[in-house]
Structure 1
Amino acid sequence: MLYRYRMFVFTAALVFACVATTLHAEVKLASIFSDSMVLQQQMPIPVWGWAEPGEQIRVTFGEQTQQATADDNGRWKVQLEPLQANAEGQKLVVAGSNTLEVKDVLIGEVWICSGQSNMEWAVKGATNGAQETAAADHPEIRLFNVPGHTTSPVAKETCPGVWQVCKPNTVGGFSAVGYFFGRRLQNDLKVPIGLVGTNWGGTRIEPWISPAGFHHVPELKAIADQVDAYTAETKVGGSSPSAIYNAMVHPLAPFAMRGAIWYQGESNGGEGESYYHKTQALVSSWRELFNPNLGFYWVQLANFKQPTEDPAGGDGWAKLREAQTKALDIDHTGMAVIIDIGEAGDIHPRNKQDVGDRLAQWALHQTYEKQQIVPAGPLFKSQEIEGASIRLSFDYVGGGLIVGKKEGLQPTEEVKQGKLERFAIAGADKQWHWADATIDGDSVVVKSAAVAEPVAVRYAYSMNPEGANLYNKEGLPASPFRTDAW
């Protein structure tokens, strides 16, 4: 009896050991690899996963086969040579102790779409959401969404998510801004588009930045020190620096991507210069992850709440928008201005079509070098004092400056005899007055009878600059600005 019992225990232990070894040895791919995915064209393509330490792994795609050996932690990685765009589905085969096949893999352009609730806002909730969803039959657009709102004090290797073909039954819950951005790219570039959504409403920018990102910016040393002190037992939440990055961004790296679009800032709305530093940290940290030349385009916050009649402005998100504009000094970045399509009573404007389209203008112009496309509305460049008036010059004048009017999803219309609004002017006494502003060629001349010797101008520099109407002929609005530093 004792012999039989010992044999039973020995056999059970042997079976358990074999099962455990089999489970541990099973070759696995990173979370971002699944059927119906898109691989980035014209760039080296990392493919990675896990296996038994020392195991030989073969990765085959098309005519390429690359090999790797799993390291002491079981991680392996190969790099495919750059590929050209291809809308025909192919197989990615990974072979070790077991074989994995990823089917219907396209080659094209991949973008990550991230931020808080206005990026998370779904297609079905956008203007004409039902019609947009029903019409979203785009087999060459593929969607990957990181579900749930998760955090971690340390970087995670995996996250949930699966690629889906863009269809009416899959697009409804995906980021509306991301989808409309991708739709425009696919229409213009005629290549497959992969969109990777990772979003969380109500979040600040700090949780999305990697620990290394904080170290890149000296002004953020205090946050860098805080994150460095994290251990696996540190309790973190949705507002903790790097906590969302660790759980919802790091598992995607080092997937090859062309660029990122970002819509966030409301939860940092009381900031100014500090948000500029945090944007530097975000961009640099994500470029380390995905692509050192990652295009990075963000949305300047929309007009919101009731307008003020104080010509000095400076209320609400004025300084945050200024920081977003200042961050354009980071190479290969751009900003979609949307102060003309917000809603005074709703922090979530439903017009996401124009937001996605304006982001795409930047990507097409700068990342894809389509120089004939004007990427933005007028951006303040310089001022020149001319006696009792100030002449303002701008970048991105395009076909010329106009007084414009934007209604819903309709294109901006030029108001032929219209008057420019929301310009204020001040002298050395720093007292602001509403000003008369007129378009003169590619510049704007600003003056006021109340200011004999002007020194500075402000435009649309308030939480809701309702009535701001300087555009270029391409229908894109001028960004708010001020020429003073008071």
Structure 2
Amino acid sequence: MKHYSEKRLPKHLVIIIALIAAANHAVSEVRLPAIISDHMVLQQGKAAPIWGRADPGEEVSVSIAGRTKTTHADSSGNWSIKFKSLRAGGPHQLVVKGKNEILISDVLVGEVWLGSGQSNMAQPAQEARDFETTKAESDQPRIRMFKVESGGATNLLSDCTGTWKVCSQETIGRFSAVLYFFGRELQKSLNFPMGLINSSVGGSVVESWIPPEAQNAAPGDGRGDLFNGKIGPLIPYSIAGAIWYQGEANARTVEQARVYHEHFPLLIQNWRKHWDETFPFAWVQLPNYKERAEGWCLVREGQLKTLNLPKTGMAITVDIGQSGNIHPKNKQETARRLSLWALGTVYGKKVPSISGPLPTSQQFRTGEVVLNFSHADGGLVAKEGELKGFILAGRDHKWLPAQAKIKGKQVVVSNPAVKHPVSVRYAWQDDPDCNLYNGAGLPASPFRTDDWK
């Protein structure tokens, strides 16, 4: 019987060869980002990108709803295809084939909305008002939410962590309250599947959500880190639009609040630039809250002025906050007001009003100021008593309480002690006592006609 001697490789070489083989195998497999996964919702009616990684030059095919598209990975291993004008419906199976095959199950096609901001966007439904009622009504499998779990990053990431969850009594408690109630309102009217993407961080300032290259700031101070880690990896996932609830962290000081006037529109413009689309964008104006004084008012003003950007909207919530709670629990009404804007503008539905009254112009006359408003749908209304919340100043810049009377879609403001008024303010406090509404029951935005420091 013959015996053969076996030549063994040194142990460290075996390990190295195994690692190289594993690395080659990993590269050769087609891979998808976290957001392209089971239970996802794709945007209907416009190009819906599917993208990922593969070997350079590798052929990749993607199939859904009886349609197949094929492409090749570029020299860096990146590939992308687009399905144009998918029809609402499902569930479908998404099949991705390269050297391997990936099956993504239970895919719906409908409306996709991104929700971002700080803790009032992050706040889960289980902490909002009437959770037991919400839970009892939450078996809605056509509403899904993807929560971005990964944090900020110094450099732009190509992927994030997170999973799609189907709305049910087991999952609803952890859904973003505002985003869920917003999606629920849209679905009631539109009857399409709703995909909701929650990418929010409590306590975050607006600067952390703006792409670093768009900001004139020294590197390493955290600016742009949440864009890099929590927004960038979602691009170019197709969305119908975005809603935003943030500003509390920027209201801590007057200095921070003043730059919000520049940084908030910068955020919207740069998100649209990165998505290469002027998608609809709406936000929640800061509610009534008795803690932050002037900074709170200035952030609200920055939010009001940002309506100058196209395809934007704002839910005014100066009447539904809680004086001693920075996280007001009535997220249902906040979301309903956002949905009125979306239904009326994005989807062309007939709604009572898309916004509360907004100031458009003023005429200063001897002894009075005449204020004009847009969105005075159903007329202007003083809710529960005489109109209040206005103050007036003359050339001496001294503020005095003012009488205010509604005349059609105008408000006339006066005080006998102010013969030559030069400025008027409405609800210019963090927790104001004010009551101007339109006939649709939506409150007017706080505002001022001056820019005094």
Task: Write out aligned runs for 1:274-423 (5 A).
Answer: 274-290=259-275, 292-305=277-290, 315-370=294-349, 372-404=351-383, 415=384, 418-423=385-390
Partner secondary structure for residue 29 of structure 1: coil
| CA displacement at 1:211 relative to structure 2 | 2.8
Distance 1:164 1:291, change over 3 A: farther
**Which residue of the partner structure matches residue 190 of structure 1?**
191
**Which residue of the partner structure matches residue 223 of structure 2?**
241
1:480 and 2:449 equivalent? no
Distance 1:265 1:433 in 2: 29
| CA displacement at 1:346 relative to structure 2 | 1.1
**Which residue of the partner structure matches residue 68 of structure 1?**
71
Distance 1:7 1:470, change over 3 A: closer
How big is each residue's C-alpha offset from its partner over 1:385-417, in whole Å with a ceiling of 9 and x where there is no partner? 34322111100000111112xxxxxxxxxx3xx
| CA displacement at 1:288 relative to structure 2 | 2.4
Distance 1:206 1:2 in 2: 68
Distance 1:2 1:283, change over 3 A: farther
Q: Is the 2:283–2:313 Cα contact (8 Å) retained in structure 1? A: yes
Distance 1:306 1:52, change over 3 A: closer
| CA displacement at 1:371 relative to structure 2 | 5.1
**Which residue of the partner structure matches residue 160 of structure 2?**
159
Count of matched residue positions in the alignment of Structure 1 and Structure 2: 446
Distance 2:246 2:296 in 1: 12
Q: Is the 1:316–1:462 Cα contact (8 Å) retained in structure 2? A: no
Which deviates the most, 98-107 or 130-139?
Answer: 130-139
Partner secondary structure for residue 31 of structure 1: coil
**Which residue of the partner structure matches residue 113 of structure 1?**
115
**Which residue of the partner structure matches residue 250 of structure 1?**
232
| CA displacement at 1:299 relative to structure 2 | 0.9
Query: Sequence identity, in percent?
Result: 41
How big is each residue's C-alpha offset from its partner over 1:71-125, in whole Å with a ceiling of 9 and x where there is no partner? 2221111111221211x20111100011111111111110110100011011000
Give 2:222's aligned amino acid: S
Distance 1:291 1:130 in 2: 41
Distance 1:473 1:5, change over 3 A: same
| CA displacement at 1:21 relative to structure 2 | 1.9
Distance 1:21 1:305 in 2: 59
Distance 1:12 1:446 in 2: 82
Q: Is the 2:343–2:351 Cα contact (8 Å) retained in structure 1? A: no
Q: Is the 1:45–1:81 Cα contact (8 Å) retained in structure 2? A: yes
Give 2:359's aligned amino acid: F
Distance 1:261 1:291, change over 3 A: farther
| CA displacement at 1:134 relative to structure 2 | 2.8
Q: Is the 2:257–2:295 Cα contact (8 Å) retained in structure 1? A: no
Q: Is the 1:256–1:291 Cα contact (8 Å) retained in structure 2? A: no
Give 2:46's aligned amino acid: M
Q: Is the 1:364–1:373 Cα contact (8 Å) retained in structure 2? A: no
What are the ranges of 5 or more consecutive residues in structure 2 without an aligned counterpart?
none
What are the ranges of 5 or more consecutive residues in structure 1 without an aligned counterpart?
215-219, 228-235, 308-313, 405-414
Which deviates the most, 264-273 or 190-199?
Answer: 264-273
1:267 and 2:249 equivalent? yes
**TM superposition score normalised by structure 1:** 0.88
Partner secondary structure for residue 8 of structure 2: helix
| CA displacement at 1:457 relative to structure 2 | 1.0
Q: Is the 1:272–1:322 Cα contact (8 Å) retained in structure 2? A: no
Distance 2:81 2:336 in 1: 36
How big is each residue's C-alpha offset from its partner over 1:361-402, in whole Å with a ceiling of 9 and x where there is no partner? 111122112354411110011112343221111000001111
| CA displacement at 1:442 relative to structure 2 | 1.3
| CA displacement at 1:23 relative to structure 2 | 1.9
Give 1:36's aligned amino acid: H
1:89 and 2:91 equivalent? yes
Alignment partner for residue 48 of structure 1, among 41, 48, 51?
A: 51
How big is each residue's C-alpha offset from its partner over 1:276-314, in whole Å with a ceiling of 9 and x where there is no partner? 21112211121123351211101111111169xxxxxx7
Give 2:93's aligned amino acid: K
Distance 1:369 1:343, change over 3 A: same
Distance 1:351 1:291, change over 3 A: farther
Alignment partner for residue 141 of structure 2, among 120, 139, 142?
A: 139
Distance 2:12 2:212 in 1: 48
